[in-house]
């Protein structure tokens, strides 16, 4: 039974690694125990482009209770920007690392003095309820967040379990203290709106509510329940800035003050407080109903022990993080375990305690004995996040795939999810990347889903006659730019996706399909322009896009958040074929050299979000570049990969709020980091190999989901010793830059010998 | 098991009455069989104030599929006004006889030629989809409606089962025929709006959809499902007047054309049709989900046999109407059985086939082995409709009471329903009239609910400290007009409601409560002003409302949709007490005489809706007057009641579209008619007697729900012979104008001897 996600201790103990771990059992959580959760730094990535949130969440949890500093700025997609001077309040749900804002449902705001109903501005917080705060008065750790707000002098602490959490407010003495809940709050980026909401004062210490948001998700239904540790002195609903009062005189007919509907609702719990009085609020959400939110709350948080929730959530994190254990410095541990934390936040648990969830068809469905997940940022996460899950989170990965298959079943278009958000399809980004996730999981031995059913969904998706010019792609061999935006990127990503279908077809013995999709997988060749040496748009008649600038970027042009310079490398499934197109290894590597040294500034700043972390024209902050460095390893110049990987690790990751140079994108930036530290990367998920780069930790032990243990050691690794000198796989010399999955999956050891200078290791691929 | 509301034939046959019925078994439905459903004339009341709809519905059905001629006019609350020249289309749900519009969910519109997405106007229907029609091409009968529209030359036929119905469109030959569904349609009276809606093309012949309406019900969720007998040639969603098309080119990211959300959605099923080709659409609704709507549809209408649905719905009507059988003329039968039809349309079945319904708390609840009902127009229906149900629909009445108790359980205010509309509380009108419904049902022997639980709900409701100045009423003995609108009406209705609580308390042995509520029941005396001889407002200090005009009406003044002239009679539970206040029988009757002869025109036209059917200052078109004529019978001048009852029956009821002079109000106007025809009326429901008036049919047989049979005969009744000469109850002379419930409930006979002149019968009450 996974429904309540409570794993037992015996199961966990089998995951613990080696002697160091035996000395620091994951389930104890005294400070300094060395448990991985102690190294989680939720503030990493909260400044700038990372777009993660600092508030607490359980692994893959339903709730992400976190402070919001902004709701209007598109760039502040998670609601929190470390540089912002003020906090609006604390809302219950957040997206982790996306480039588009949404969620931020149900904002809780403590106030002292006459309550404001509007927020004021960052410049003039005194005009509303938002408050300045200092990072000195703010801490964030696994399962816990704390801040003291300047204006109301209220200390706010947050914790979150799987489906329920707690807010603890410590008030000064006041005759006029309050906790307001804003049902109209949503991280809107200035665009989204509340279509409908209602609130009910269920009893003297319980409130439930609901809203539908027309947002990134076009129709998102979310319910909440809140229980207060002290009955309200007064509980008031505010509608459009006016208290809702019992009134049949003024309004002609009776009106209840205990329930209201509208689009601009708040609930105000008013209290007289003593000095340092704490008032706690237990909260839960549900996509199904207020009754389910209450059931989530009452069954997961039957007590008021805030510390116990923190402790249990940290235990959850330790259990999840036990699958990979590193030996490294404090900074490395903080960076690495926080990367794992970010990789294991999303997708989110979708089903309530009773197994119900609101599906893509807006009907209520039930899942039993498994988890239903939501929020699939697949254009990002198919690259490294799901491949990581396939290795160390196989059970969850299978449940995620079953969640995608449920979405497919509920889709009127018979399509697997593209970018799923709380049972909505945002259609964000391109490709059909649920396909490589499923194919990779199947080929990596994840067994928790029906492969035939999954294959049918895959094939139907890839044969859809309407989706993004797939039909034209199938007919012509490329997506014609006169028919479709981002035609080159789509051609390339379809071709890769098709390769993964072919691999799964082959494994299932469907050799006709294998041949068919392998043919489609070679489509990349159709858009390679030998004259310019780049991937280039072609129209329906086969004419090349003219004029053509491989460094040029046009929103809605032939490339997706990038240029031909980046996308021309996107043939992860047939690098030898690409090398051949580019004129052999030397030409290929020379072109790669150019990529990393081009001065993109000269070309002007492309008008595109999400592209940061530049090394020349390589933009690590966005996903199309993520596999590129590893191509050196496949083209006979692995030392260049080794140097660049070190550069990226050192300059684009770290322990500071601004250390993430791009959107974490539901864990993809972090999963790239984890694989890279391990010394290899899934350049082509659903292929049977990983590509060896350069290890970034002295030792990493990985408990694979299949029960085998795999260890990576990097002897002599140091600041200077970034270059691979030699490799042993299970004690035997290993000269290939390919790490076969079949070797990895058996467990064993990968031992690097590192040195300060490039070696000839791996030069002949 | 009542869940599917399928009663078996044997049960029915025991309900059939006498020889005439044996010759015309209710289950056969050949024309001319004399089955009661043959006399149902749904057009009665569709013109003017009746506000009923002509389309088909099963008894207490979930669906009321009916043509809408207007959606903007407040007065056209049912969507259909017989005088309107055009039809907009055919929507799935309707309120029967209310004074406020709502419902009209999901309008189906057939078109030929380029489809219009907007309606046009009555004056210029050619500018939109609405069409002129002729009543000559229109028929309505039980379970069936048919019209031929002029413009598209399409014949539309409608039928409805309990939870699913069918529309049949007969098209001319056309390359461009269509059936459009408008999800934004609602009978808005110009005020209500769609908060959110979505539509999904589930497959090539199935559509589902949803909307939330902010209407009279503040947040009403309704889903529909539709299956088409022929796959669409093309199925198109229209959003804000523009087709939703597959498009990733124009809109940057992919968009599905098979689903959309918004507030202005239509679905267009396009067809090429042959001459006289019929296309049928099966439809169902649900308050829970699209899945439930589909389940309702598929389980109740697994076939495409339109005629079978009509036949089965007529059989349902015959089964329901079998409880009262009359002997009378064709006109009398049409009037009477249509009155029963109107009385048995509402409340509506609320739970889906699987027992689920959306409750007042917006959570999904399940009812098993019983019916959950919705739409309780209690200020109207407590008077005669529920008292009729208590006698002949005991099982349903108990289920209705259990539905009210569920509402109470789901109410944050711990109040029984006031005016419930699809799990919303509209708070319409005044009083707590669920109370007399429950008390009356209990005292009349309806056993299908828990009386202790019901009593607790009743008492809690009547002791609510916030609702409409009940607290002030309790403290002062009257509702003070400086604190509350309609203070006099509220005082009087509370006092009556309290009398009914006292009666139930007494029966349950709660003698303290009996005494307490009987004291409250006497509150009417506190607002009788002996100086003017009228019920008159008092303020918190006891001062009389000054100036005071007993014929004056002020919206939001001291009276509810009426004047002191009408409300001063509202002491149904203590008429002897009222007679005493008014100075004895003679003075009382003189004042009554005045009521019926006052020229209200002189006083100007009061600015109030719903007041029609005037005889002097007696306004039969609205409920506060409904018991007044019977007061003559209780004050020693019963012949005046007999004459006036005849006058009302002859002038304010009949078989024409305009025959209902007031809002039918979910059956109250019709239930008044039924009781009055029977010769008696529940002046004070929850008392132990009815008041004898004057029979209006030669013979009526009533199968009581307790299994006993009661017959009323009116010997010598004729146009002229309107006066009661003598009465025999079970063969014995009966000189009282009171008919005890205990006599009625035993069954037996009430035999009137009628004559052309007033007699002395009943003069000594």
- At B33, list the tokens: 């069989």
pLDDT at B248: 56
pLDDT at B34: 86
Cβ within 8 Å, pair B200-A412:
yes
Inter-axis angle of helices A434-443 and A451-462, to 10 degrees?
Answer: 150
HEC states along B89-147? EEECCCCCCCCCCCCCCCEEEEEECCCCCCCCCCCCHHHCCCEEEEEEEEEEECCEEEE
- How many C-beta atoms lie closer than 10 Å to residue A193's C-beta? 12
**Does B650 lie at the interface with A, CB-CB under 8 angstroms?**
no
Residues in chain B with CB shorter than 8 Å from the CB of A201 are: 412
- At A94, list the tokens: 């957040």
C-beta of residue B644 within 8 angstroms of C-beta of residue B629: yes
Answer yes or no: is pLDDT of A480 > 90: yes
pLDDT at B4: 37
Single out the residue of B272, B211, B204 nearest to residue B232, CA to CA. B204
Dihedral angle over CA of A260, A262, A265, A271, nearest 10:
-10
Q: Distance between CA B223 and CA B218 in Å, rounded?
A: 16
More confident residue, A101 or A5: A101
C-beta of residue A608 within 8 angstroms of C-beta of residue A75: no
How would residue B612 be classed by pLDDT, with cut points 50, 70 and 90? confident
Answer yes or no: is pLDDT of A765 > 80: no
Q: Distance between CA A507 and CA A443 in Å, rounded?
A: 8
What are the pLDDT digits (tens) for B598-607? 875 544 454 4
Provide the residue count of chain B. Answer: 765
Greatest Cα pair distance in chain A: 89
- Measure A715 CA to nearest chain B CA, in Å: 48
Which of A234, A251, A262, A362 has the most B C-beta neighbours within 10 Å, making it the best mutation to test the interface with B?
A: A362
pLDDT at A25: 31
How would residue B556 be classed by pLDDT, with cut points 50, 70 and 90? confident
C-beta of residue B130 within 8 angstroms of C-beta of residue B123: no
How would residue B25 be classed by pLDDT, with cut points 50, 70 and 90? very low
Q: What is the mean pLDDT of chain B?
A: 93
Which residue in A252, A291, A362 is closest to B485 by CB distance? A252
- Measure A517 CA to nearest chain B CA, in Å: 23
Answer yes or no: is pLDDT of A11 > 90: no
pLDDT at A753: 98
Return the SS3 of B503: helix
Across B674-694, average pLDDT = 98
C-beta of residue A449 within 8 angstroms of C-beta of residue A455: no
Which residue in A219, A261, A469 is closest to B261 by CB distance? A219
What are the pLDDT digits (tens) for B404-423? 999 999 999 999 999 999 99
C-beta of residue B653 within 8 angstroms of C-beta of residue B331: no
What are the pLDDT digits (tens) for A409-458? 999 999 999 999 999 999 999 999 999 999 999 999 999 999 999 999 99
Which residue in A362, A413, A483 is closest to B198 by CB distance? A362
pLDDT at A15: 33
Across B38-62, average pLDDT = 97
- At A433, list the tokens: 């990347």
pLDDT at B11: 32
pLDDT at B121: 96
- At A15, list the tokens: 């995951």
Single out the residue of A352, A351, A469 nearest to residue A406, CA to CA. A351
C-beta of residue A561 within 8 angstroms of C-beta of residue A611: yes
Across B336-359, average pLDDT = 98
Question: What single-letter DSSP state applies at residue B544?
Answer: B
Cβ within 8 Å, pair B249-A484:
yes
Inter-axis angle of helices A668-678 and A330-343, to 10 degrees?
Answer: 130
Alpha-helical segments (H) within B420-469:
434-443, 451-462
Single out the residue of A177, A179, A57 nearest to residue A108, CA to CA. A179
Q: Report the half-sphere exposure of A77 (CA within 13 A, side-chain side).
A: 23
Question: What single-letter DSSP state applies at residue A568?
Answer: T
Chain centroid to Cα B512, Å, comes to 36
- At A462, list the tokens: 């890839």
* pLDDT above 70 coverage of chain B, percent: 94
**Does A196 lie at the interface with B, CB-CB under 8 angstroms?**
yes
- Which secondary-structure segment (H or E) carries B217? none
Which residue in B214, B249, B468 is closest to A254 by CB distance? B468
Which residue in B214, B412, B427 is closest to A202 by CB distance? B412
C-beta of residue A112 within 8 angstroms of C-beta of residue A174: yes
Cβ within 8 Å, pair B196-A196:
yes
Q: Distance between CA B357 and CA B402 in Å, rounded?
A: 14
Q: Which residue has the tokens 């858009």?
A: A527
C-beta of residue B152 within 8 angstroms of C-beta of residue B113: yes
pLDDT at A612: 73
Residues in chain A with CB shorter than 8 Å from the CB of B254 are: 418, 427, 467-468
Inter-axis angle of helices A394-409 and A434-443, to 10 degrees?
Answer: 140
Cβ within 8 Å, pair A214-B261:
yes
What are the pLDDT digits (tens) for B354-390? 999 999 999 999 999 999 999 999 999 999 999 999 9
pLDDT at B249: 60
HEC states along B714-738? EECCCCCCCEEEEEEECCEECCCCE
Cα nearest neighbour of A465 on chain B: B246
- For CA atoms A480, A486, A488, A494, the dihedral sign is negative
- At B694, list the tokens: 């004057």
- At A248, list the tokens: 């049949």
Cβ within 8 Å, pair B219-A201:
no
Which residues, 6 or more positions from B239, have their beta carbon under 8 angstroms from its beta carbon?
B260, B262, B264, B265
> Partners of B160 in the beta sheet?
B165
Which residues, 6 or more positions from B598, have their beta carbon under 8 angstroms from its beta carbon?
B551, B565, B616, B617
Answer yes or no: is pLDDT of A491 > 70: yes
Across B254-278, average pLDDT = 97
Give A 89-118 residues with CB within 8 A of chain B. Answer: none
Q: How far is residue B607 from each of residues B227, B427, B649, measured CA to CA in Å?
A: 46, 21, 26
- How many C-beta atoms lie closer than 10 Å to residue B37's C-beta? 22
Which residue in A249, A259, A289 is closest to B483 by CB distance? A249
How would residue A170 be classed by pLDDT, with cut points 50, 70 and 90? very high
Q: Distance between CA A353 and CA B274 in Å, rounded?
A: 54
- For CA atoms A358, A360, A363, A364, the dihedral sign is negative
What are the pLDDT digits (tens) for A492-525? 999 999 999 999 999 999 999 999 999 999 999 9
Answer yes or no: is pLDDT of A28 > 50: no
**Using alpha carbons only, what angle is made at residue B463 by residues B461 and B464, rounded to the nearest 5 degrees?**
65
Residues in chain A with CB shorter than 8 Å from the CB of B200 are: 361, 412
Q: Distance between CA B759 and CA A708 in Å, rounded?
A: 105
Which residues, 6 or more positions from A384, have their beta carbon under 8 angstroms from its beta carbon?
A626, A668, A671, A672, A674, A675, A681, A682
Determine the topology of domain B323-755 in CATH: GH92 mannosidase fold (3.30.2080)
Q: Which residue has the tokens 């599917």?
A: B4
Task: Parse chain B into domains and list their residue ranges.
Answer: 41-193+224-229+271-317, 323-755
**Torsions phi, psi of B418, nearest 5?**
-100, -60
**Does B484 lie at the interface with A, CB-CB under 8 angstroms?**
yes
Chain centroid to Cα A80, Å, comes to 16
Residues in chain B with CB shorter than 8 Å from the CB of A361 are: 200, 208, 290-291
For chain A, helix (H) and strand (E) counts, in that order, are: 20, 37
Q: Could you write out the DSSP letters of every residue in B176-204?
A: EEEEEEETT----TTT-EEEEEEEEEEET
pLDDT at A13: 33
Question: What single-letter DSSP state applies at residue A233?
Answer: S
How would residue B297 be classed by pLDDT, with cut points 50, 70 and 90? very high
C-beta of residue A725 within 8 angstroms of C-beta of residue A761: yes
Answer yes or no: is pLDDT of B6 > 50: no
- How many C-beta atoms lie closer than 10 Å to residue A417's C-beta? 28
pLDDT at A32: 57
Which residue in A198, A208, A427 is closest to B219 by CB distance? A198
Question: What single-letter DSSP state applies at residue A94?
Answer: B
Q: What is the mean pLDDT of chain A?
A: 93
Which residues, 6 or more positions from B674, have their beta carbon under 8 angstroms from its beta carbon?
B324, B336, B339, B340, B343, B384, B388
β-strands B174-182, B265-273: how paired? antiparallel
Q: How far is residue A337 from each of residues A39, A441, A741, measured CA to CA in Å?
A: 6, 24, 24
Single out the residue of B334, B395, B494, B302 nearest to residue B60, CA to CA. B395
Question: What single-letter DSSP state applies at residue A92?
Answer: S
Chain centroid to Cα B734, Å, comes to 34
**Torsions phi, psi of B316, nearest 5?**
-60, -45
Q: Distance between CA B178 and CA B233 in Å, rounded?
A: 10
How would residue B33 be classed by pLDDT, with cut points 50, 70 and 90? confident
Across B268-282, average pLDDT = 98
What are the pLDDT digits (tens) for B452-485? 999 999 999 999 999 999 999 999 999 999 999 9
Q: Distance between CA B111 and CA B132 in Å, rounded?
A: 13
Q: Please give the CATH architecture assigned to the domain spanning B41-193+224-229+271-317.
A: Distorted Sandwich (2.70)
Which of B198, B203, B253 has the most A C-beta neighbours within 10 Å, making it the best mutation to test the interface with A?
A: B253
How would residue B554 be classed by pLDDT, with cut points 50, 70 and 90? confident
Nearest-Å Rg of the Cα atoms of chain A is 26
- CB burial string A145-174: b at 16+ within 10 A, e below: bbbbbbbbebbbbbbbbbbbbbbbbbbeeb
C-beta of residue B156 within 8 angstroms of C-beta of residue B283: no
Q: Distance between CA A87 and CA A68 in Å, rounded?
A: 6
């Amino acid at each position: 039974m996974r429904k309540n996600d409570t794993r037992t201790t015996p199961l966990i103990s089998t995951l613990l690694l080696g002697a160091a771990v035996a000395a620091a059992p994951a389930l104890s959580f005294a400070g300094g125990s060395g448990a991985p959760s102690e190294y989680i730094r939720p503030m990493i990535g909260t400044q700038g482009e990372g777009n993660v949130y600092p508030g607490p969440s359980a692994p893959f949890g339903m709730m992400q209770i976190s402070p919001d500093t902004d709701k209007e700025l598109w760039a502040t997609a998670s609601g929190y920007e470390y540089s912002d001077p003020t906090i609006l309040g604390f809302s219950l749900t957040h997206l982790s690392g996306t480039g588009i804002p949404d969620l931020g449902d149900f904002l809780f705001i403590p106030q002292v003095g006459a309550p404001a109903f509007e927020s004021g501005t960052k410049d003039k917080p005194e005009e509303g309820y938002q408050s300045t705060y200092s990072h000195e008065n703010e801490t964030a750790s696994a399962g816990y967040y704390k801040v003291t707000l300047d204006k109301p002098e209220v200390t706010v602490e947050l914790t979150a379990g799987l489906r329920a959490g707690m807010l603890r407010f410590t008030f000064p003495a006041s005759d006029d203290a309050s906790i307001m809940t804003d049902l109209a709050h949503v991280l809107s980026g200035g665009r989204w709106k509340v279509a409908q909401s209602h609130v009910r004062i269920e009893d003297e210490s319980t409130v439930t509510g609901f809203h539908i948001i027309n947002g990134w998700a076009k129709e998102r239904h979310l319910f909440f329940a809140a229980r207060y540790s002290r009955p309200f002195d007064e509980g008031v609903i505010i509608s459009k800035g006016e208290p809702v009062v019992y009134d049949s005189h003024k309004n002609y007919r009776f009106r209840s003050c205990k329930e209201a509907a509208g689009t601009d609702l708040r609930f105000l719990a008013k209290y007289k407080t003593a000095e340092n009085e704490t008032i706690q609020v237990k909260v839960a959400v549900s996509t199904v109903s207020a009754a389910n939110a209450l059931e989530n709350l009452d069954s997961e948080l039957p007590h008021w022990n805030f510390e116990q929730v923190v402790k249990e959530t940290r235990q959850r994190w330790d259990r999840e993080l036990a699958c990979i254990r590193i030996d490294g410095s404090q900074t490395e541990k903080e960076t690495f375990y926080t990367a794992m934390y970010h990789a294991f936040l999303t997708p989110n648990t979708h089903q309530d305690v009773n197994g119900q969830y609101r599906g893509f068809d807006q009907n209520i469905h039930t899942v039993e004995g498994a988890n239903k997940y939501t929020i699939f940022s697949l254009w990002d996460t198919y690259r490294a996040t799901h491949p990581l899950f396939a290795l160390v989170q196989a059970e969850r990965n299978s449940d995620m795939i079953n969640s995608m298959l449920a979405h497919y079943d509920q889709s009127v278009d018979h399509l697997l999810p593209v970018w799923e958000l709380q049972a909505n399809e945002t259609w964000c980004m391109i490709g059909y990347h649920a396909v490589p996730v499923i194919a990779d999981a199947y080929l990596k031995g994840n067994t928790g889903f029906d492969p035939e059913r999954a294959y049918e969904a895959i094939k139907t998706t890839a044969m859809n006659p309407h989706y993004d010019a797939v039909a034209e792609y199938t007919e012509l061999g490329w997506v014609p730019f006169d028919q479709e935006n981002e035609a080159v990127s789509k051609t390339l990503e379809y071709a890769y996706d098709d390769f993964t279908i072919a691999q799964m077809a082959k494994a299932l013995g469907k050799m006709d399909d294998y041949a068919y999709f392998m043919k489609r997988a070679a489509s990349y060749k159709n858009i390679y322009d030998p004259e310019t040496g780049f991937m280039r748009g072609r129209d329906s008649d086969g004419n090349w896009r003219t004029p053509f600038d491989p460094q040029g970027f046009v929103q809605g042009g032939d490339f997706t958040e990038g240029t031909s310079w980046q996308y021309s490398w996107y043939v992860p499934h047939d690098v030898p074929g690409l090398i051949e197109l580019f004129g052999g290894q030397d030409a290929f590597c020379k072109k790669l050299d150019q990529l990393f040294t081009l001065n993109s500034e000269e070309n002007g700043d492309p008008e595109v979000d999400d592209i940061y972390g530049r090394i020349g024209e390589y933009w690590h902050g966005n996903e199309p570049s993520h596999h590129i460095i590893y191509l050196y390893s496949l083209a006979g110049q692995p030392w260049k990969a080794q140097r660049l990987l070190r550069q990226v690790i050192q300059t684009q990751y770290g322990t500071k709020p601004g250390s993430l140079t791009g959107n974490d994108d539901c864990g993809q930036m972090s999963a790239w980091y984890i694989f890279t530290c391990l010394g290899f990367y899934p350049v082509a998920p659903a292929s049977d190999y990983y590509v060896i780069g350069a290890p970034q930790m002295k030792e990493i032990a990985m408990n694979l989901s299949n029960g085998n243990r795999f260890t990576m050691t990097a002897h002599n690794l140091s600041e200077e010793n970034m270059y691979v000198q030699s490799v042993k796989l299970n004690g035997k010399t290993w000269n290939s830059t390919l790490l076969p999955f079949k070797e990895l999956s058996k467990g064993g050891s990968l031992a690097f010998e590192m040195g300060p200078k490039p070696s000839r290791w791996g030069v002949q691929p």
